[in-house]
Amino acid sequence: MTSSQTAGLAARIERWPIAGAFTISRGSKTEAVTVMAEVSHGGHTGRGECVPYPRYGETPEATLAAVLTMQDALRNGLSREALQRALPPGAARNALDCALLDLEARVRGERAWDLLGRPAPRACTTAFTISLGTAEAMAAATARAASRPLLKIKLGGEGDAERIAAVRKEAPESELIVDANESWTAANLEHNLAACAAVGVTLVEQPLPAGQDAALARIRRAVAVCADESVHDRASLEGLRERYDAINIKLDKAGGLTEALAMADAAQALGFEIMVGSMVGTSLSMAPAMLLTPQARFVDLDGPLLLTGDREHGLRYDGSTVYPPDPALWG
Protein backbone atom coordinates (compact mmCIF):
# COMPACT_ATOMS: atom_id res chain seq x y z
CA MET A 1 0.00 0.00 0.00
CA THR A 2 1.28 3.43 -0.99
CA SER A 3 0.14 6.41 1.05
CA SER A 4 0.72 10.10 1.46
CA GLN A 5 -0.97 12.59 3.75
CA THR A 6 -1.25 16.32 4.35
CA ALA A 7 -3.40 18.40 6.65
CA GLY A 8 -7.00 17.86 5.58
CA LEU A 9 -6.16 15.40 2.79
CA ALA A 10 -5.06 11.79 2.82
CA ALA A 11 -4.78 9.66 -0.30
CA ARG A 12 -3.51 6.17 -0.94
CA ILE A 13 -3.33 3.37 -3.48
CA GLU A 14 -5.13 0.17 -2.49
CA ARG A 15 -5.21 -3.28 -4.08
CA TRP A 16 -8.27 -5.53 -3.89
CA PRO A 17 -7.97 -9.13 -5.15
CA ILE A 18 -10.49 -10.25 -7.75
CA ALA A 19 -12.13 -13.65 -7.35
CA GLY A 20 -10.48 -15.50 -10.23
CA ALA A 21 -9.81 -13.08 -13.09
CA PHE A 22 -11.66 -10.27 -14.86
CA THR A 23 -11.13 -10.51 -18.61
CA ILE A 24 -12.18 -8.18 -21.43
CA SER A 25 -10.96 -7.69 -24.99
CA ARG A 26 -7.99 -5.60 -23.82
CA GLY A 27 -6.65 -8.13 -21.32
CA SER A 28 -7.11 -9.78 -17.96
CA LYS A 29 -6.50 -8.69 -14.36
CA THR A 30 -6.57 -10.37 -10.98
CA GLU A 31 -6.84 -7.30 -8.73
CA ALA A 32 -8.62 -3.97 -8.65
CA VAL A 33 -6.16 -1.13 -8.04
CA THR A 34 -7.93 1.87 -6.56
CA VAL A 35 -7.02 5.29 -5.21
CA MET A 36 -8.88 6.51 -2.13
CA ALA A 37 -9.04 10.17 -1.08
CA GLU A 38 -10.04 11.32 2.39
CA VAL A 39 -10.83 14.98 3.01
CA SER A 40 -11.17 16.07 6.65
CA HIS A 41 -12.61 19.21 8.19
CA GLY A 42 -14.04 20.05 11.60
CA GLY A 43 -13.80 16.52 12.94
CA HIS A 44 -15.51 14.98 9.91
CA THR A 45 -13.94 12.96 7.09
CA GLY A 46 -15.36 12.39 3.62
CA ARG A 47 -14.15 9.56 1.41
CA GLY A 48 -14.07 8.91 -2.31
CA GLU A 49 -12.60 6.07 -4.35
CA CYS A 50 -11.54 6.00 -7.99
CA VAL A 51 -10.21 3.35 -10.34
CA PRO A 52 -7.49 4.67 -12.70
CA TYR A 53 -7.93 3.17 -16.17
CA PRO A 54 -4.98 2.54 -18.51
CA ARG A 55 -7.30 2.87 -21.54
CA TYR A 56 -7.38 6.60 -20.80
CA GLY A 57 -3.69 6.88 -19.97
CA GLU A 58 -4.23 6.76 -16.21
CA THR A 59 -1.99 4.99 -13.70
CA PRO A 60 -2.52 4.65 -9.95
CA GLU A 61 0.67 6.58 -9.23
CA ALA A 62 -0.18 9.51 -11.52
CA THR A 63 -3.74 9.59 -10.19
CA LEU A 64 -2.50 9.68 -6.60
CA ALA A 65 -0.15 12.53 -7.53
CA ALA A 66 -3.00 14.44 -9.21
CA VAL A 67 -5.16 14.10 -6.11
CA LEU A 68 -2.36 15.44 -3.94
CA THR A 69 -1.88 18.52 -6.14
CA MET A 70 -5.14 19.74 -4.62
CA GLN A 71 -3.88 19.79 -1.03
CA ASP A 72 -3.22 23.54 -0.88
CA ALA A 73 -6.48 24.33 -2.65
CA LEU A 74 -8.38 22.14 -0.19
CA ARG A 75 -6.74 23.89 2.76
CA ASN A 76 -7.95 27.13 1.20
CA GLY A 77 -11.54 25.89 0.97
CA LEU A 78 -11.77 24.32 -2.50
CA SER A 79 -15.44 23.65 -3.32
CA ARG A 80 -16.86 20.92 -5.54
CA GLU A 81 -17.77 23.56 -8.09
CA ALA A 82 -14.23 24.92 -8.16
CA LEU A 83 -12.84 21.38 -8.37
CA GLN A 84 -14.58 20.94 -11.73
CA ARG A 85 -12.36 23.69 -13.13
CA ALA A 86 -9.24 22.72 -11.23
CA LEU A 87 -8.92 19.17 -12.58
CA PRO A 88 -9.97 17.59 -15.89
CA PRO A 89 -12.54 14.77 -16.06
CA GLY A 90 -11.04 11.50 -14.90
CA ALA A 91 -10.32 9.28 -11.94
CA ALA A 92 -8.50 11.81 -9.74
CA ARG A 93 -11.31 14.35 -9.89
CA ASN A 94 -13.82 11.61 -9.19
CA ALA A 95 -12.16 10.58 -5.92
CA LEU A 96 -12.03 14.16 -4.69
CA ASP A 97 -15.51 15.09 -5.89
CA CYS A 98 -17.05 12.14 -4.06
CA ALA A 99 -14.96 12.77 -0.95
CA LEU A 100 -16.06 16.40 -0.83
CA LEU A 101 -19.70 15.45 -1.22
CA ASP A 102 -19.41 12.80 1.49
CA LEU A 103 -17.78 15.38 3.77
CA GLU A 104 -20.49 17.94 3.07
CA ALA A 105 -23.21 15.40 3.87
CA ARG A 106 -21.53 14.48 7.15
CA VAL A 107 -21.01 18.09 8.21
CA ARG A 108 -24.65 18.91 7.49
CA GLY A 109 -26.06 15.67 8.82
CA GLU A 110 -27.97 15.00 5.62
CA ARG A 111 -27.93 12.23 3.05
CA ALA A 112 -26.10 13.19 -0.13
CA TRP A 113 -29.19 12.90 -2.32
CA ASP A 114 -31.18 15.23 -0.09
CA LEU A 115 -28.32 17.69 -0.09
CA LEU A 116 -28.31 17.62 -3.91
CA GLY A 117 -32.08 17.71 -4.27
CA ARG A 118 -32.12 14.33 -6.03
CA PRO A 119 -34.50 11.39 -5.64
CA ALA A 120 -33.42 8.90 -3.00
CA PRO A 121 -32.01 5.77 -4.64
CA ARG A 122 -33.90 2.55 -4.06
CA ALA A 123 -32.92 -1.07 -4.28
CA CYS A 124 -32.42 -2.01 -7.92
CA THR A 125 -31.13 -4.82 -10.11
CA THR A 126 -27.49 -4.70 -11.16
CA ALA A 127 -25.98 -6.58 -14.07
CA PHE A 128 -23.57 -9.39 -13.27
CA THR A 129 -20.53 -9.67 -15.53
CA ILE A 130 -19.43 -12.76 -17.42
CA SER A 131 -15.77 -12.33 -18.38
CA LEU A 132 -14.46 -12.94 -21.89
CA GLY A 133 -13.22 -16.46 -22.64
CA THR A 134 -13.90 -19.36 -24.96
CA ALA A 135 -17.53 -20.11 -25.76
CA GLU A 136 -17.27 -23.17 -23.54
CA ALA A 137 -15.77 -21.31 -20.59
CA MET A 138 -18.32 -18.50 -20.86
CA ALA A 139 -21.16 -21.01 -21.05
CA ALA A 140 -19.91 -22.65 -17.85
CA ALA A 141 -19.64 -19.30 -16.06
CA THR A 142 -23.12 -18.35 -17.28
CA ALA A 143 -24.59 -21.61 -16.00
CA ARG A 144 -23.39 -20.68 -12.52
CA ALA A 145 -25.05 -17.25 -12.81
CA ALA A 146 -28.16 -18.22 -14.76
CA SER A 147 -30.49 -17.32 -11.88
CA ARG A 148 -29.46 -13.68 -12.13
CA PRO A 149 -31.98 -11.53 -14.02
CA LEU A 150 -29.46 -9.34 -15.87
CA LEU A 151 -26.13 -10.54 -17.26
CA LYS A 152 -23.45 -8.44 -18.92
CA ILE A 153 -21.42 -10.51 -21.37
CA LYS A 154 -17.90 -9.44 -22.29
CA LEU A 155 -17.12 -10.11 -25.95
CA GLY A 156 -13.90 -9.83 -27.90
CA GLY A 157 -14.29 -9.95 -31.69
CA GLU A 158 -13.56 -13.22 -33.49
CA GLY A 159 -15.96 -15.94 -32.33
CA ASP A 160 -18.44 -13.59 -30.63
CA ALA A 161 -21.47 -15.07 -32.42
CA GLU A 162 -20.61 -18.47 -30.96
CA ARG A 163 -19.99 -17.00 -27.52
CA ILE A 164 -23.32 -15.22 -27.30
CA ALA A 165 -25.24 -18.25 -28.56
CA ALA A 166 -23.55 -20.45 -25.95
CA VAL A 167 -24.34 -17.95 -23.21
CA ARG A 168 -27.99 -17.69 -24.18
CA LYS A 169 -28.37 -21.47 -24.12
CA GLU A 170 -27.27 -21.51 -20.47
CA ALA A 171 -29.36 -18.48 -19.39
CA PRO A 172 -32.62 -18.66 -21.34
CA GLU A 173 -34.52 -16.40 -18.93
CA SER A 174 -31.92 -13.71 -18.19
CA GLU A 175 -31.87 -10.33 -19.89
CA LEU A 176 -28.56 -10.05 -21.73
CA ILE A 177 -26.47 -7.01 -22.48
CA VAL A 178 -23.09 -7.37 -24.15
CA ASP A 179 -19.92 -5.28 -24.07
CA ALA A 180 -17.49 -5.60 -26.95
CA ASN A 181 -15.02 -3.07 -25.50
CA GLU A 182 -14.17 -1.65 -28.95
CA SER A 183 -13.24 -5.08 -30.36
CA TRP A 184 -15.52 -5.23 -33.42
CA THR A 185 -14.81 -3.79 -36.85
CA ALA A 186 -16.94 -2.16 -39.52
CA ALA A 187 -16.62 -5.43 -41.46
CA ASN A 188 -18.15 -7.68 -38.79
CA LEU A 189 -20.42 -5.13 -37.11
CA GLU A 190 -23.69 -6.09 -38.79
CA HIS A 191 -22.99 -9.83 -38.52
CA ASN A 192 -22.32 -9.57 -34.79
CA LEU A 193 -25.31 -7.30 -34.16
CA ALA A 194 -27.51 -9.80 -36.00
CA ALA A 195 -26.13 -12.64 -33.86
CA CYS A 196 -27.01 -10.64 -30.75
CA ALA A 197 -30.48 -9.85 -32.05
CA ALA A 198 -31.07 -13.52 -32.83
CA VAL A 199 -30.73 -14.51 -29.17
CA GLY A 200 -32.61 -11.52 -27.79
CA VAL A 201 -29.75 -9.33 -26.54
CA THR A 202 -31.18 -6.03 -25.28
CA LEU A 203 -28.15 -3.76 -25.63
CA VAL A 204 -24.67 -3.82 -27.21
CA GLU A 205 -22.06 -1.64 -25.54
CA GLN A 206 -19.24 0.06 -27.49
CA PRO A 207 -18.87 -2.33 -30.45
CA LEU A 208 -16.42 -0.16 -32.43
CA PRO A 209 -13.34 1.77 -31.30
CA ALA A 210 -14.00 5.30 -30.08
CA GLY A 211 -13.31 7.70 -32.93
CA GLN A 212 -13.90 4.94 -35.48
CA ASP A 213 -17.61 4.43 -34.91
CA ALA A 214 -19.12 6.35 -37.85
CA ALA A 215 -20.47 3.09 -39.32
CA LEU A 216 -23.05 3.00 -36.54
CA ALA A 217 -24.82 5.96 -38.14
CA ARG A 218 -24.95 4.28 -41.57
CA ILE A 219 -26.59 0.98 -40.66
CA ARG A 220 -29.90 -0.18 -39.30
CA ARG A 221 -28.99 -1.14 -35.76
CA ALA A 222 -30.61 -4.51 -35.07
CA VAL A 223 -30.02 -4.02 -31.33
CA ALA A 224 -29.78 -0.80 -29.33
CA VAL A 225 -26.17 0.37 -29.05
CA CYS A 226 -24.61 2.08 -26.02
CA ALA A 227 -21.56 4.36 -25.98
CA ASP A 228 -18.91 3.76 -23.32
CA GLU A 229 -15.38 4.62 -24.44
CA SER A 230 -16.90 7.13 -26.89
CA VAL A 231 -18.53 9.18 -24.12
CA HIS A 232 -16.94 10.83 -21.10
CA ASP A 233 -18.66 14.03 -19.99
CA ARG A 234 -21.34 16.40 -21.28
CA ALA A 235 -19.03 17.82 -23.94
CA SER A 236 -18.96 14.46 -25.74
CA LEU A 237 -22.73 13.92 -25.96
CA GLU A 238 -23.87 16.00 -28.91
CA GLY A 239 -21.73 14.21 -31.51
CA LEU A 240 -23.11 10.78 -30.60
CA ARG A 241 -26.79 11.28 -31.37
CA GLU A 242 -26.81 9.54 -34.76
CA ARG A 243 -24.61 6.64 -33.64
CA TYR A 244 -25.86 5.54 -30.24
CA ASP A 245 -29.14 4.89 -28.48
CA ALA A 246 -27.76 4.91 -24.93
CA ILE A 247 -24.73 6.09 -22.99
CA ASN A 248 -22.80 4.49 -20.13
CA ILE A 249 -22.09 7.06 -17.41
CA LYS A 250 -19.18 6.15 -15.17
CA LEU A 251 -17.99 8.44 -12.42
CA ASP A 252 -14.34 7.72 -13.21
CA LYS A 253 -14.82 8.93 -16.79
CA ALA A 254 -17.00 11.92 -15.95
CA GLY A 255 -14.72 13.02 -13.13
CA GLY A 256 -17.14 12.60 -10.27
CA LEU A 257 -20.78 12.58 -9.30
CA THR A 258 -21.22 16.32 -9.82
CA GLU A 259 -20.55 16.05 -13.56
CA ALA A 260 -22.21 12.64 -13.87
CA LEU A 261 -25.56 13.93 -12.60
CA ALA A 262 -25.43 16.93 -14.93
CA MET A 263 -24.49 14.56 -17.74
CA ALA A 264 -27.46 12.29 -17.01
CA ASP A 265 -29.84 15.24 -17.21
CA ALA A 266 -28.30 16.41 -20.50
CA ALA A 267 -28.35 12.90 -21.97
CA GLN A 268 -32.02 12.42 -21.16
CA ALA A 269 -32.83 15.76 -22.76
CA LEU A 270 -31.12 14.50 -25.95
CA GLY A 271 -33.12 11.28 -25.92
CA PHE A 272 -30.45 8.82 -24.78
CA GLU A 273 -31.21 5.92 -22.48
CA ILE A 274 -28.81 5.73 -19.56
CA MET A 275 -26.66 2.98 -18.17
CA VAL A 276 -24.85 3.67 -14.92
CA GLY A 277 -21.61 1.72 -14.94
CA SER A 278 -18.35 1.47 -13.09
CA MET A 279 -14.87 0.05 -13.17
CA VAL A 280 -14.11 -2.91 -10.89
CA GLY A 281 -13.80 -1.40 -7.43
CA THR A 282 -15.14 -1.62 -3.90
CA SER A 283 -18.49 -0.46 -2.56
CA LEU A 284 -16.99 2.98 -2.03
CA SER A 285 -16.77 3.36 -5.81
CA MET A 286 -20.33 2.11 -6.32
CA ALA A 287 -22.06 4.08 -3.55
CA PRO A 288 -22.06 7.55 -5.19
CA ALA A 289 -23.15 6.01 -8.50
CA MET A 290 -26.34 4.80 -6.79
CA LEU A 291 -27.60 8.40 -7.05
CA LEU A 292 -27.76 7.93 -10.83
CA THR A 293 -29.87 4.79 -10.68
CA PRO A 294 -33.29 6.55 -10.60
CA GLN A 295 -32.52 7.81 -14.14
CA ALA A 296 -30.95 4.61 -15.45
CA ARG A 297 -32.48 1.93 -17.67
CA PHE A 298 -29.49 -0.32 -16.93
CA VAL A 299 -27.42 -0.54 -13.75
CA ASP A 300 -23.98 -2.16 -13.83
CA LEU A 301 -22.58 -1.83 -10.31
CA ASP A 302 -21.41 -5.37 -9.59
CA GLY A 303 -17.76 -4.55 -8.80
CA PRO A 304 -17.83 -5.75 -5.16
CA LEU A 305 -19.38 -9.05 -6.28
CA LEU A 306 -16.26 -9.72 -8.35
CA LEU A 307 -13.84 -9.18 -5.44
CA THR A 308 -12.70 -11.62 -2.78
CA GLY A 309 -13.52 -9.01 -0.12
CA ASP A 310 -15.08 -5.56 0.25
CA ARG A 311 -14.87 -2.58 2.59
CA GLU A 312 -16.46 -2.51 6.01
CA HIS A 313 -20.07 -1.29 5.77
CA GLY A 314 -20.08 -2.19 2.06
CA LEU A 315 -23.20 -2.09 -0.08
CA ARG A 316 -25.74 -4.81 0.59
CA TYR A 317 -26.30 -7.21 -2.28
CA ASP A 318 -29.10 -9.76 -2.23
CA GLY A 319 -28.37 -11.81 -5.33
CA SER A 320 -28.41 -9.14 -8.05
CA THR A 321 -30.35 -6.61 -5.98
CA VAL A 322 -28.16 -3.78 -4.69
CA TYR A 323 -29.32 -1.45 -1.92
CA PRO A 324 -28.48 2.22 -1.26
CA PRO A 325 -25.38 2.89 0.85
CA ASP A 326 -25.40 3.03 4.60
CA PRO A 327 -24.15 6.43 5.80
CA ALA A 328 -21.26 4.65 7.51
CA LEU A 329 -19.95 3.87 4.01
CA TRP A 330 -20.68 7.06 2.08
CA GLY A 331 -23.04 10.00 1.74
Determine how β-strand 2-6 pairs with β-strand 9-24. antiparallel
Q: Does 250 qualify as catalytic in the annotation?
A: yes
Q: How far is CA 250 from the centre of its chain?
A: 4
Distances (CA, A) of 14 to 45, 52, 105, 106, 267: 18, 11, 24, 24, 33
What is the C-alpha separation between 2 and 213, in angstroms, rounded? 39
What is the C-alpha separation between 45 and 301, in angstroms, rounded? 24
Task: Beginning with the edge strand found earlier in the chain, give each strand of the sheet holding 44-50 in spatial order.
Answer: 2-6, 9-24, 27-41, 44-50
What is the C-alpha separation between 323 and 316, in angstroms, rounded? 6
Q: Does 169 qualify as catalytic in the annotation?
A: no
- Kindly name the residue from 29, 152, 154, 169 that is annotated as catalytic: 154
Q: Collapsing DSSP states into helix, strand and coil, what is residue 130?
A: strand
Q: 250 and 58 in contact (C-beta within 8 Å)?
A: no
Phi, psi of 194 (to 5 degrees): -65, -40
What is the C-alpha separation between 112 and 106, in angstroms, rounded? 9
What is the C-alpha separation between 240 and 246, in angstroms, rounded? 9
Q: How far is CA 270 from the centre of its chain?
A: 21
- Kindly name the residue from 29, 152, 169, 250 that is annotated as catalytic: 250
Q: Which residues are catalytic?
A: 154, 250
